[in-house]
Chains A and B, each alone.
Chain A
Amino acid sequence: MTDMSQTKGMQVWHFSEMAYHPAWPQLGDSYRVVIPSRLFDPKVGADLYHRYLDEWALCDGLGINIMTNEHHATATCADSVCTIPMAIMARETKKVRLLALGMPIGNRNDPIRVAEEYATIDVISRGRVEMGFVKGVPFEITPANTNPAELMERFWEAHDLILKALSTHDGPFSWEGTHFQYRSVNVWPRPWQQPHPPVWMPVGSPGSAEEAAARGITIGVLNTGWVRTPAIFDAYRKKAAEAGREMRPEKLAYMALIGVGDTREEGWRRADQILGYSRTSGIVAPQFQNPPGYVAAGLNAQMLKTGGAAMARATRVQTKDGRPINARTMQVEEAIDAGLVFAGTPDDVWSQLKAFYDHVGGFGHLLMMGQGGLLDHDDTVANLTIFSKEVLPRLAELGC
């Protein structure tokens, strides 16, 4: 078993959304929510699932940990239950850690079931689970049909209930909360890791970083880039200090799309294909993008006045000097400039990563999207293998 607290250096996690990209050419202005599942061919889907799983399994020998996630009613991510590939990997791998980032606990109806899933995988994997809890993107609200105006209340109540359920070993307790009621909570099995597996959540703003810091939760920062990430990490460090929590780099994770090759051209070509993720991820009909209550009323008020520009400003992708980038047409060069992609030769990737690391004040985990979009199996294997051999050894000096 790998005990991360004794592991030197930055931890790397291979992440793929298991995209069902064969349907993409048939989709119009929405890749999510309303697309009919007749566009999913189970035979093609089975082949895809197996190759993505093979790529994760390969990570066990490469020293790269595994990260899954989930989305619903979408061809951008065919993983609709994040704990299913995680469970398969619990059996197929022996060493690396398994992170789901993660479980949309504000949208799941049954937090006890979440505790049972994580606990079972933690035991089967002999203590390799990292539990991610996510708010979920706004277009997850419709498939889940959860009340967007109560989402974060549900999230935190579910969080508290799951942790209590995993760490109570003296028989049933009762829970009569606002959103969840159980007369008898008694989760079997209890998890391998005590009191419970480490908790993660993705955050996209300094405010939510503070909420995580106050509770000692590890944050994963996705798609925030060179300009927006420092304020988020700073807010976390500041709040952790205020809360009297020891600040360690492994509390901070950053996701980047990574394309590495023997030549710069090869690395860039791989990165360009992985960018298929970024280019498609936001394609969703407008009525699903901001259900009422998902964001604060103050932001919605400003959006009414500005026709959505306030939201676009808060979430935009931009270059180092603040020039907005169109996510749907983003190219490798500007994505590197934005800090979203590290790509090229191993030396290129290392120097881009090191510059980003220094710019944001350090972090302990690199969430590596090593497969995305149309990047095929051979390229993904090469991408992960070259990274493992040529870049990973240099990360020992980071995140200690």
Chain B
Amino acid sequence: MERIEVAGIALETLMAGDGPPLLFLHGGDYVAQNRPFLDRLAHRWHVIAPRHPGFGNTPRPAWFRSVHDIAYLYLDLIEQLELDNVLLVGSSLGGWIALEMAVRSQARLGGLVLIDSLGLKFGGREERDIADIYALPAEEVLRRSFADPARFVPDYAALDDNEVMAIARDREATALYGWKPYMHNPALSHWLHRITRASLVLWGEEDGIVPPAYGEKLAAGLPHARFHTIAGAGHYPQIEQPEAVDDMIAEITLPEFQR
């Protein structure tokens, strides 16, 4: 792990691989479980994967308290690293951050991959677009998050103090950024037309947090998007099916980035 200081915040960041730049934005939980996927990506891409402020070991200043702040921070990050033609890959909460970045500035972006992204409200005021993970029993949240939960739930008792502290901070920060409005920006769907870069919307077939139909609506709202589902995966397909997701990203987007 490296520390990259942006806007006075020392971001805990994984940097790996050579190739076109890829900024990976993690979701609210199971952050460490992304590692096999990131290791695979690093065979083809120069991967930059920061831990968001308030998550893991990255500090969060008191003034920094919204997804908008994270979006500006990462726009600063890619500017500071002088990255161009970046492939922005966001999972869950990270997808929301990616969308907020892209509606602000695509100048240094080459394309987007949105994996079971949050951040949008499509239904009416009494329709729940995103399952309320804070009101469902823990086992139910797990069942909705993974096609095969048993394979991916950490054995928390076996983790060291730093690892459990990182997870506790992840969950606290997710609540901080996503509590109300719940995991979305009410206006964001009205700005999707600004995202003219090629976008790939990937969805776990068995996602019970945000169903594939939500992903189809997201893809329909983006000017240049393709939608694909991933079999044998819930809300985190890159954790459950890292090979399939890595291959799909390479097949669909890599040629564009190697031109």
Contact = CB atoms under 8 A, between A and B. Distances in A.
Do these two chains really belong together in a complex? yes
Interface of A: 34, 142, 145-150, 285-288, 291-293, 297-298, 300-302, 304-307
A292 B172 contact: yes
B156 A149 contact: no
Contact of B164 (A146, A148, A304): A304
B172 A293 contact: yes
Contact of B172 (A34, A288, A300, A307): A300
Q: Interface SS of chain B: helix, strand, loop or mixed? A: helix
A225 B136 CA distance: 33
B157 A149 contact: no
B171 A300 contact: yes
B33 to A, nearest CB: 15
Pick the 6 closest A-B CB pairs, nearest first: A149-B176, A300-B168, A292-B175, A147-B179, A301-B164, A301-B168
B164 A149 contact: no
Given A149-B175, A287-B137, A304 B180 contact: no
B169 interface: yes
Given A149-B175, A291-B175, A304-B156, A297 B168 contact: yes
Question: Interface residue tally of chain B, by bracket?
Answer: 20 to 34
A170 B176 CA distance: 37
Contacts, number: 68
B137 to A, nearest CB: 6
8 contacts: A145-B179, A147-B175, A148-B179, A291-B175, A292-B171, A301-B165, A301-B168, A304-B159
A148 B165 contact: no
B115 interface: no
Contacts of B134: 142, 287, 291-292
B138 interface: yes
A145 to B, nearest CB: 6
A286 B135 CA distance: 9
B137 A149 contact: no
Interface string B174-187: 11100110000000
Interface string B128-153: 00000011111000000000000000
Contact of A298 (B138, B159, B165): B165
A9 B142 CA distance: 56
B155 to A, nearest CB: 10
Nearest to A34: B135
Contacts of A304: 156, 159, 164, 167-168
B173 interface: yes
Contacts of B167: 301, 304
B45 to A, nearest CB: 32
Given A147-B179, A148-B179, A297 B172 contact: yes
A263 to B, nearest CB: 46
B174 A292 contact: yes
B161 interface: yes
Contacts of A307: 156-157
A148 B179 CA distance: 8
B159 A305 contact: yes
Contact of A305 (B137, B157, B172, B174): B157
